[in-house]
Amino acid sequence: MDYSKYPAEPYRIKMVEPVKMISKEERMKVAEEAGFNTFLIPSDAVYIDLLTDSGTNAMSDRQWAGMMLGDEAYAGSVNFAHLKDTVEELMGFRHIVPTHQGRGAENLLSSIAIKEGQYVPGNMYFTTTRFHQENNGGIFIDIIRDEAHDATIDIPFKGNIDVEKLRKLIEEKGAENIAYVCLAVTVNLAGGQPVSMGNMKEVSELCKANGIKVFYDATRFAENAFFIKEQEDGYQDKTIAEIVKEMFSYADGCTMSGKKDGIVNIGGFLCMNDDELFEQAKELVVVFEGMPSYGGMAGRDMEALAIGLKESMQYEYISHRVLQVRYLGDKLKEAGVPIVEPVGGHAVFLDARRFCPHLEQTDFPAQSLANELFIESGVRTMERGIISAGRDKNTGENHMPKLETVRVTIPRRVYTYKHMDVVADAIIKLYEHKEDIKGLKFVYEPKQLRFFTARFEHK
């Protein structure tokens, strides 16, 4: 193995959690009982769990030590002060409101910053983010560059906003009808694709000139910073911390899920510099989450998050993180398995359209593929395609996203390269008898965020 390309784990292991594999017959039974939805499979039936990298992180010894320093005072916890100071130091925002997780922050921001009928342009959508925008009367508009919708185009910074699309939207609708621009770093549903510093700067300049605020979905900010260091001219000699600071200098605030690049198991926050917006956020957080000095989080969790945010920016950590994901992607590519290219920061996305050319999108190929992979190998993944995209709020028709994918998501600091080998072998084996994968149909379809709890049967 080329250790400069795929560095060894930059940690040693001092606590282990045994995993076991049940038989294929048992997995078939489990899958059926779960309505062919990997979200409904009990975790002890799973061998390698790549459902999500959300809250599935392994915390460090320092974070666990921080948990013992939890100050659970109802008001004015010292851990809140630590988190606030850390966020200000790393991201440069003056105000922070802790929330129970990222969607709590999205709920607050959407409630205070969107007026009925306003547009909320973004670089592709995220499920919970768009839900809160639409739930607060906003109209989501996708302004990501066109290439992001094509799984086969391998270019850097595929998550960039198409600035011309944004300019046109401002001209057509008027700046006053745009609530804010939501810029995700990296873009989860596009395949974990990063946004370049140049693009963030350009978006910021255009928005400033028109009096429009820019809020980042900062959930994967450290992974994005790694890609900038690796691939954008002029950033090779900068530290991840310097890059992160510059990234956020082009934003008015952000929502953050601590469960991703915060390397914790629960938590999130909303940030901004604007005093008036902060006052409004504080008024709302007491209703939905808790006192502004803890929001939705325990003191100990705020402490672990403050430490995790800093750890996510250590070069040894973040380079291993992104390159371990790339290792899995490279193995699949070499075997001819169709994946979204280039491989992004947190996951390898299988291209279900090319994996299952015998199925129509309305046969839910990605949902079915995720399910078959579990039965084949005990590896749990999730659908990111037509099921996740949901239905149009007004017409009730299915959104038909160009990307129909299975997300093979790598938790932080949890699995080794050997686990990646096992996963690659399982996917390659499934690809060899892909014709056996059958289409699915709904037997239960929830109204909101249907992918979490829907149930299916074979067509």
Ligand X SMILES: *Cc1c(COP(=O)(O)O)cnc(C)c1O
Q: Measured from the CB of residue 404, what is the shortest distance to ligand X in angstroms?
A: 19
Out of 126, 250, 294, 349, pick the active-site residue. Answer: 126
CB of 230 to ligand X, least distance (A): 20
Rounded Cα distance between 120 and 117, Å, is: 10
Active site includes 74?
A: yes
Question: Can you say how many angstroms the Cα of residue 145 is from the centroid of all Cα atoms in its chain?
Answer: 18
Active-site annotation holds for 125? no
∠166-168-172 over CA atoms, to 5°? 120
Nearer to ligand X, 45 or 382 (CB): 382
Q: Which of 22, 92, 87, 380 lies closest to 258, judged by CA?
A: 87
Residue tagged active-site, from 127, 186, 219, 381: 127
Closest approach, Cβ 382 to ligand X, in A, equals 12
Between CA 102 and CA 137 the distance in angstroms is 20
Q: Active site includes 417?
A: no
* Residue pair 293/76 in contact by the 8 Å Cβ criterion: yes
Can you tell me the distance from the alpha carbon of 452 to that of 103, in angstroms, rounded to the nearest whole number?
Answer: 15
Q: Of the two residues 128 and 368, which places its CB atom closer to ligand X in the complex?
A: 128
**Considering beta carbons, is residue 348 or 430 the nearer one to ligand X?**
348
On the question of a cis peptide bond just before residue 342, with omega within 30 degrees of 0, the verdict is yes
Instruction: Between 183 and 426, name the residue whose CB sits nearer to ligand X.
Output: 183
Kindly state the smallest distance separating residue 232's Cβ from ligand X, in Å.
21
Q: Among all chains, which residue has been given the structure tokens 């129509």? A: 360
Spot the catalytic one: 217, 252, 261, 301. Answer: 217
Question: Of the residues 5, 11, 74, 459, which is catalytic?
Answer: 74
Which residue shows structure tokens 């996305």?
A: 349
* End-to-end Cα distance, the chain: 44
CB of 269 to ligand X, least distance (A): 10
297 phi/psi in degrees, rounded to 5 = -120, 145
Least distance in Å: CB of 262 to ligand X? Answer: 9
How far is residue 446's CA from residue 432's CA, in Å, rounded to a whole number? 34
Helical (H) or strand (E) element with 422: helix 417-432
Based on CB atoms, which residue is closest to ligand X, 36 or 125?
125
Closer Cβ to ligand X, 103 or 229, answer by number: 103
Minimum separation from the CB atom of position 417 to ligand X (A): 24
Task: State how far the Cα of 214 lies from the Cα of 179, in Å rounded to an integer.
Answer: 9
Minimum CB distance to ligand X, residue 175 (Å): 25
Cα–Cα distance, 141 to 166 (Å, whole number): 9
Q: Which is nearer to ligand X, 217 or 311 (CB)?
A: 217
The least CB distance from residue 138 to ligand X, in Å, is 16
Cis peptide before 186 (omega within 30 of 0): yes
CB 273 within 8 A of CB 94: yes
77 vs 99 by CB, closer to ligand X: 99
Structure tokens at 340: 């979204």
Q: Which residues contact ligand X (rule: CB under 6 A)?
A: 54, 101-103, 126, 128-129, 184, 188, 217, 219, 257, 259-260, 268
Report the residue number whose CB is nearest to ligand X: 102
Q: With H, G, I as helix, E, B as strand and everything else as coil, classify residue 253.
A: strand
User: What whole-number distance in Å separates Cα of residue 79 and Cα of residue 309?
Assistant: 14
Closest CB to ligand X among residues 368, 405: 405
Calpha distance 179→118 (Å, rounded)? 6
What span, in angstroms and rounded, lies between the C-alpha atoms of 420 and 1? 13
Say which of 158, 259, 260, 450 is annotated catalytic: 260
What are the φ and ψ backbone dihedral angles of 257, each rounded to 5 degrees?
A: -100, 110
Tell me which of 300, 384, 407, 412 is the catalytic residue.
384
Cα separation, 119 vs 340, in Å, equals 29
d(CA 436, CA 199): 43
Annotated catalytic residues are: 74, 126-127, 217, 260, 384, 451
